[in-house]
Structures are given as C-alpha cells and as structure tokens.
C-alpha cells in the first residue's frame, strides 16, 4: 500500500483542522495583540494609533523589566523546587505497600484540587495573626513573618504554595519514569558494590533525564501562566511585589482600562516565552548530543 | 452533481457563520424581563433579593432577574466587556468615580424617564447632581443606589475599659490609636484602615486639599502629601496602625475581620457595614464621624444605578419601572435600615427620622450627619483612571515601604496627567 496521497491537496486537507484551530485560537489573537499594542484603546471609545508609545511607557515606568524579572524569579523557584521535590518524593515512595500508596495518593491529591480552593486554604493557613503557620511560628518563639503582606517574602510564598500544589504531579511523572529503569541493572550494580548515590547518579538519573526535561518544561509553562493564585491571594501586591505577567496583563486591560498596554505586555511575554523555549530546547538537544557522544 | 455539492457546501458554510453570529449576540429577553447585575454578598445581597421578591409580589408586568457579578470592580470588568461585545444587562450599578467616564464614552442611557417626582425626591448630596461637581450640567445617567461615606467604628468594650472617646482631630486619632494598641501573644492594633484611595481622599479633604482645582488634577498638593505622611507615621513611627493586607474589597474584609476578632480597637470603613458589624460583633460597636484636621471632610461612595444605551424600548421601559420602584421612599428606607447605607430618598430619610429609627440606632445616623461635610467629586472622565492607575497602587508603596510621599504623589501626578 502506497503512502503517497492520491490528490495533491489531501495533505493540506488533513492539516486544515489543526491549522484552523491554531489560526483562530493562537495566530489570530497574537496578531490582534500585536496590532492593538500600537493603539490606545479602552474597549469603549474608538482606538487611537500611538506608535510605540505603549512600549515606551512600559519601559520608562520600569513595569516591563520588573514584571519580567518577577516572573522569572517566580518560575525558577517553582521549576527547581517542584522538579527536585517531585524527584525526591518519587525515589522515596517508589515502594510497595499500603502505607506508601497512601502517601503517594496524599501528595498527589493537592494537584487535583482547584487553584482557587488551594489559594483560599493557604490564605487561611498563612494569616499572620490567626493562621496555623503563625501559631506554630509563635509556639517555636521564632520571629513572626507576614508571608503575604511583606514584599520581601510574598513571591517566595506564592511559589511555595504553587510547589505544594504541583509537586504531586511531578512525583507521579517521575514514578512513571522510574518504572522504565531496569531493576536488574540496579541489582547488578549493587552486587558490584555501587552505593545508593552511585546507582542514582550513574544509572537512574541518566535514564530519568527525558522525564526531568518534561517535568521542567510543563512546570515552566504552568508557572508562567499563574494567575488564579495571584488574583485570590495577593491581587499582585503588596506594592506590586507579586504582579507577574498574566496578572499584569489582566490589571492593564481590566483595571487600568488600557488594552494597548496589555497587548504590548502580551507581545513581550510571547517573545520571552519563545526565547526561553528555544533556550530550553537548545540545552536539551545539546545534552542529548553530549550523552550520545559519551 | 458537483453543482449540488457546491450548493450544499455553501449552505453549510452559511449555516456555520449564522450559528457563530447568533452565538455572539445577546440572548433575547422575555417580555418585561429586566436583567440586573449586582455586586453584593452577605446581608446586603439578601436584602436586595428580598426587595426584588417584594417587587415581584407587588406587580407582574416586569420580572427582574438579578445576577451576582463579583465585587464592584469585577462587576465593572464584566460590564465593560459586555458593552464591547453587546451583551449587556438592563440595569447594573457602578462606583461613582466611573460614571463620568462611562457617560463620556456614550454608553449610558438617560434616566429622566424614571419620573420627575422621583428625581425631585432624591437626597441632593447623594444624587448625580449633588455628588459631582458639574454633574448638574450633564444628562441624568446615574441614579443613587447604595450610597455611603466612610465612618469610624470602635470597639465599645475596649474604649470603655481604656476610657477613650472617638477622636475628633488627627492628633486625637494618633493618641487613641496609641492607647488602643496592646502587645501580647497576638497584637491588638489601635487603628486599622485600608490603604485605599477612598480613605486617602477623606484625609486630603481634612487636610484642606482638593483633587482637582480649576479643572487641573492636583491630587491635593500639600494636603495629599500630609495625608500619606499621617499613615506613614502611624504605621512606622507610632506602630499603632495595621494596613490590612490585600487590595480593594480584600483589604476591607481584612479590616472588618480584625475588628470583629478584637484585633483592632478602631477601624475606618464604610457605613455599609453598620448592620453587618453590629450583628456579628461580640462587643458593643460604636460609630463616629471621621476626625478632622484643618477641616472636616469625607467623600461619598457606593454605587449608582446605570442603564446601558441602546436597549430595545420595551426593555428600557421595564428597567425604568424597576428603578422607579427602587427609588420610592419605602424601598429606600428599608434598604438603609437593613444595611447601613444612606437612604437616597428624602421622604425615606424623613420616615427613618420620624419613626424613631435613628434615635434607636444612632450608628446608622453617623453617615447621614456627615453629609454636611461631604466633598463633591469632579465630573471628570479621568477620575476613574486617576484613582485606579495613578493613585491607588502608589499609596500602598508609599505606606508599606515608606517612600517619600512627595515623590510618590509627583509620580502619581505624572501618570494622571499622561496620555
């Protein structure tokens, strides 16, 4: 049976549904955002062309760089912590027995709870006066911290809550990856005198690298898309210290009535994400080539 | 055959376009149906829904369908989006500061049709014409609904124990807050007030400033600076004031929560919470006017009923029937009595006076008495943007990080004057 198309337009017809979806829900909005970024518009009155004024205003106010920096810091905290914690939990809990099954289920359960519920739960836990965390800190006679009210801690606190929610997902993916690590090879290495750390470093980790790349990528995307948790827990505050990209876009268009500036942030956000993805792909391919070469 | 196929393809494509277009249009409303978007939770929501229910019992020609749309600002987001896509309610209510902007954008319907008798009976300081400097020259596009002023609430038990009285000057405010603070396992703050544009505006007026002078935005000049510095001193020097966390309604809720839990001896919030705080406090709740500095002044707040322009005639008329009913003295006084907002009808206010309600519930009277020093908002389409973009986000930075008040307000002024 030949795989050659009988008509020249058949491949395009097959691709058309995907292209249509991409076009309507991705390329068209992106093009519109780019177009609107050159206008001053509030949705209600006619848009006025302003050239690069939106970009200049965002740059001059420092909002663009500050938002990008905050988002990057938040993402790094989320990606590094959730990936390493997920891996550690997977290694610890990759055992048979009801107890381990229960703990695995408990850790993963946070992932299936809605973001809003998680945010409300942690708002209550972190209340600086009546929250459980504050009471424990007071009982231990440690200095009290206003986790969500102090600009120095708020981003790390939000990252911590995000990590708490998504680590179960990372753990499950790593557990799946661990099933592909041949037990016979690990047993042989143990018989040859390799310790736990050596077995992990020489056998488990190299085989888990694609899984780690997947977990890292999905965590990165998720952290860049964070909105609900910011909206519910801090509304970007205090002092804009937790205003990350998606929230900043929301704030410009719906609070400040500036569709043009929101579009400009969207365009920059897109360029930044493309750059980061390219960097990640480059690093991954480079790592893969290095692995083949060795 | 191929012609038939082409025709059926074309019909299919047209059908898809038609389906898409109809999905984007506003769903048709039943005859006499009024879609009412509102922004209340808790007790205020219950009172509003009770009123709607009574409206239905008293007549059958108009049916109001109330839909909760989040807090004021979330509701406003949905209104603007609805206006853009053409899916609007018959009636909604919006904060006063945004009325001039929506009016200039040409998206609000004239409401004169509600009736001259209703308009004549409106409490002057709470109506569009009395609330806005210049509002009397504009077409009537907003009818007062839940109108308020900021007032001070104090914990009667703490004040009695410490022999305190409600402060009447800024100096007394600092002293009362100092004496109200108590250290211990859990700090009790002497004073709590959301770092919010509304309360800052009150302080600006008390310091003798106005936001707009001769048509030019000033943000109060030196009075604006002094207002920020008062908060800075109380938070950082006196350490008697807690700025509640969160923005907008979240901060207001946090202040109420701390007050009810006994963690704040005194708070500033809206008169809208009189009933809520009285019902939920385990101690006697006192209310008092805000103190003054070189003057006594408060802004008015709350929301106005508005109707989007361009509704079908029948729907518009049905909406006016409901608005007219809501403006009647009986409804206005019931709304005020069961919430704490001010009655928007003069006859409704007189009813509360003559029936002895204010004598029996003096906390409900505080906001009404303060109306004599209420400052008018400028009728400026920039007012809302000045509030939300220029001032509000910078107040938080000024107080939390103790940034130089002059620098912060200069920055806010540049944003306010910018394109």
Boundaries of domain holding A59:
51-293
- Please report which confidence band the pLDDT of residue A1 belongs to, taking 50, 70 and 90 as the band edges: low
User: B91: helix, coil or strand?
Assistant: strand
Assigned CATH for B33-148+301-375:
3.40.190.10
Find the mean pLDDT for residues A18-24.
93
Cross-chain CB nearest to B396 (options A57, A239, A255): A239
pLDDT at B17: 46
Alpha-carbon span B327 to A192, nearest angstrom: 89
Percent over 90 (pLDDT), chain A = 54
In a domain, A16, yes or no: no
Judge whether A14 lies within some domain.
Answer: no
- Tokens found for residue B194: 């959301």
Please tell me whether residue B369 adopts helix, strand or coil conformation.
Answer: helix
SS3 call for B216: strand
Mean pLDDT over residues B369-395, rounded?
A: 89
Both tokens of A157, joined, read: 């606190």
Torsion of CA A110, A112, A113, A119, to 10 degrees: 60
Interface probe with A: pick from B24, B73, B141, B246, most Cβ of A within 10 Å? B246
| Among candidate residues B172, B171, B119, the one with its CA nearest the CA of residue B144 | B119
A120–chain B Cβ distance below 8 A for any pair? no
Q: Do A235 and B247 touch (CB under 8 A)?
A: yes
B247 with A43: Cβ contact below 8 A = no
Given a cut of 50, whether residue B207 has pLDDT beyond it is yes
Q: How far apart are CA A39 and CA A260, in angstroms?
A: 5
The CA-CA-CA angle for residues A240, A245, A246, to 5°, reads 105
Beta strands in B40-168 (DSSP E): 63-68, 91-95, 132-133, 143-148, 150-155
DSSP string computed for A55-81:
HHHHHHTTHHHHHHHHHHHHHHHHHHH
Tell me how crowded residue A197 is: count the other CB atoms within 10 A of its CB: 8
Q: Which two tokens stand for residue A227?
A: 């909105």
Task: Work out the pLDDT band at B71, boundaries 50, 70, 90.
Answer: confident
* CA dihedral sign of residues B127, B129, B131, B137: positive
Q: What is the DSSP letter of B288?
A: E
Per residue in B328-377, pLDDT tens? Answer: 999 999 999 999 899 999 999 999 999 999 999 999 999 999 999 999 99
In this structure, which CATH number among 3.30.365.10, 3.40.190.10, 3.90.1300.10, 3.30.1360.200 belongs to the domain B150-299+382-417? 3.40.190.10
In terms of Cα–Cα distance, which of B39, B278, B304, B357 is closest to B348?
B357
In angstroms, the CA A244 to CA A263 distance is: 15
Q: Is the pLDDT of residue B160 over 60?
A: yes
Report pLDDT digits (tens) over B84-136.
888 999 999 999 989 999 999 999 999 999 999 999 999 999 999 999 988 88
Say whether pLDDT at B24 is over 60. Answer: no
Interchain proximity A43–B83, CB inside 8 Å = yes
Residue A112 lies in a domain: yes
In a domain, A148, yes or no: yes
Say if CB B338 and CB B129 are below 8 A apart. Answer: no
Give the mean pLDDT of chain B: 89
| pLDDT at residue B25 greater than cutoff 80 | no
pLDDT band at A288 (very low <50, low <70, confident <90, very high): low
Distance from CA of B30 to the nearest CA of A (A): 27
Q: Which pLDDT score, from 0 to 100, does residue B1 have? A: 43
Does position B185 have pLDDT exceeding 80, yes or no?
A: no
CATH code of the domain containing A139: 1.10.3720.10
Are residues B322 and B62 in contact, defined by beta-carbon separation less than 8 angstroms? yes
Q: Which of A43, A61, A238 sits opposite B80 (nearest CB)?
A: A43
- Does residue B398 contact residue B405 with C-beta atoms inside 8 Å? yes
Q: Where residue A293 falls among pLDDT bands split at 50, 70, 90?
A: very low
Question: Is A32 a member of any domain?
Answer: no
Orientation angle between helical segments B329-339 and B42-58, nearest 10 degrees: 160
Query: A168 near A109, Cβ under 8 Å?
Result: yes
Q: What are phi and psi of A51, to 5 degrees?
A: 60, -130
Of B20 and B210, the structure prediction assigns the larger pLDDT to B210
Q: Give A85-138 pLDDT, tens digit per residue.
A: 999 999 999 988 999 999 999 999 999 999 999 999 999 999 877 789 988 988
B307 Cα to chain A: minimum distance (Å): 15
Give the pLDDT of residue A289. Answer: 60
- Report d(CA B137, CA B134) in Å as an integer: 6
Cα separation of B121 and A97, whole Å?
A: 76
pLDDT recorded at residue A292: 42
Confidence of residue B4 (pLDDT cuts 50, 70, 90): low
Where are the domains positioned within chain B? 33-148+301-375, 150-299+382-417
């Amino acid at each position: 049976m030949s795989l050659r198309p009988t008509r020249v337009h058949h491949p395009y017809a097959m691709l058309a549904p995907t292209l249509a979806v991409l076009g309507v829900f991705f390329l068209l909005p992106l093009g519109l955002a780019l177009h609107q970024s050159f206008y001053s518009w509030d949705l209600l009155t006619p848009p006025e062309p302003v050239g690069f004024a939106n970009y200049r205003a965002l740059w001059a106010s420092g909002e663009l760089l500050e938002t990008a920096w905050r988002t990057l810091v938040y993402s790094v905290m989320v990606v590094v912590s959730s990936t390493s914690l997920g891996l550690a939990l997977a290694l610890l809990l990759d055992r048979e027995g009801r107890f381990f099954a229960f703990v695995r289920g408990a850790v993963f359960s946070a992932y299936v709870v809605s973001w809003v519920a998680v945010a409300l739960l942690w708002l209550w836990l972190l209340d600086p006066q009546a929250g459980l965390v504050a009471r424990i800190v007071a009982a231990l006679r440690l200095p009290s911290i206003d986790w969500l009210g102090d600009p120095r801690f708020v981003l790390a606190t939000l990252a911590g809550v995000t990590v708490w929610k998504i680590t179960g997902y990372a753990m499950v993916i790593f557990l799946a990856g661990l099933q592909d690590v041949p037990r016979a090879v690990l047993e042989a290495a143990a018989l040859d005198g390799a310790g736990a750390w050596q077995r992990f470093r020489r056998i488990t980790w190299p085989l888990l690298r694609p899984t780690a790349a997947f977990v890292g990528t999905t965590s990165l995307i998720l952290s860049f898309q964070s909105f609900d948790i910011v909206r519910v827990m801090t509304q970007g505050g205090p002092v804009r210290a937790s205003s990350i990209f998606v929230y900043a876009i929301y704030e410009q268009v719906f609070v400040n009535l500036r569709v043009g500036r929101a579009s400009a942030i969207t365009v920059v956000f897109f360029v930044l994400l493309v750059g980061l993805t390219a960097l990640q792909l480059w690093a991954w391919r480079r790592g893969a080539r290095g692995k083949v070469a060795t | 055959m191929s012609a038939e196929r082409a025709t059926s393809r074309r019909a299919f494509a047209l059908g898809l376009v038609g389906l898409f277009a109809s999905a984007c249009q506003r769903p048709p409303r039943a005859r006499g149906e009024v879609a009412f978007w509102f922004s209340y939770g808790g007790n205020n929501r219950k009172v509003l829904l009770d009123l709607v229910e009574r409206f239905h019992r008293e007549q059958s020609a108009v049916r109001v369908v109330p839909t909760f749309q989040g807090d004021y600002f979330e509701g406003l987001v949905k209104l603007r989006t609805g206006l853009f896509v053409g899916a609007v309610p018959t009636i909604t209510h919006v904060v006063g500061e945004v009325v001039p902007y929506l009016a200039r954008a040409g998206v609000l319907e004239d409401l004169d049709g509600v009736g001259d008798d209703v308009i004549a009976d409106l409490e002057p300081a709470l109506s569009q014409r009395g609330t806005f400097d210049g509002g009397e020259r504009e077409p009537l596009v907003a009818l007062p609904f839940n109108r308020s002023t900021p007032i001070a609430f104090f914990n009667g038990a703490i004040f009695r124990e410490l022999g305190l009285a409600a402060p009447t000057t800024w100096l007394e405010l600092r002293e009362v807050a100092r004496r109200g603070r108590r250290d211990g396992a859990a700090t009790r703050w002497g004073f709590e007030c959301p770092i919010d544009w509304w309360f800052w505006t009150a302080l600006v007026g008390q310091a003798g400033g106005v936001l707009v002078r001769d048509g030019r935005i000033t943000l109060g000049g030196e009075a604006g600076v002094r207002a920020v510095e008062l908060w800075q001193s109380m938070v950082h020097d006196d350490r008697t004031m807690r700025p509640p966390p969160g923005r907008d309604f979240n901060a207001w809720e946090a202040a109420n929560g701390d007050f009810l839990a006994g963690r704040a001896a005194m708070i500033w919030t809206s008169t809208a919470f009189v009933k809520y705080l009285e019902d939920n406090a385990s101690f006697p709740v006192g209310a008092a006017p805000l103190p003054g500095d070189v003057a006594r002044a408060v802004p008015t707040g709350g929301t106005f009923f508005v109707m989007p322009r361009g509704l079908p005639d029948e729907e518009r008329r049905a909406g006016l029937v409901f608005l007219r009913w809501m403006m009647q003295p009986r409804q206005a006084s019931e709304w005020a009595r069961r919430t704490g907002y001010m009655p928007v009808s003069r006859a409704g206010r007189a009813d509360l006076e003559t029936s002895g309600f204010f004598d029996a519930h003096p906390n409900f009277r505080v906001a009404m008495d303060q109306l004599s020093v209420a400052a008018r908002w400028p009728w400026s389409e920039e007012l809302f943007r000045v509030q939300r973009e220029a001032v509000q986000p910078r107040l938080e930075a000024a107080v939390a990080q103790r940034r130089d008040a002059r620098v912060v307000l200069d920055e806010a002024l540049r944003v306010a004057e910018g394109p």
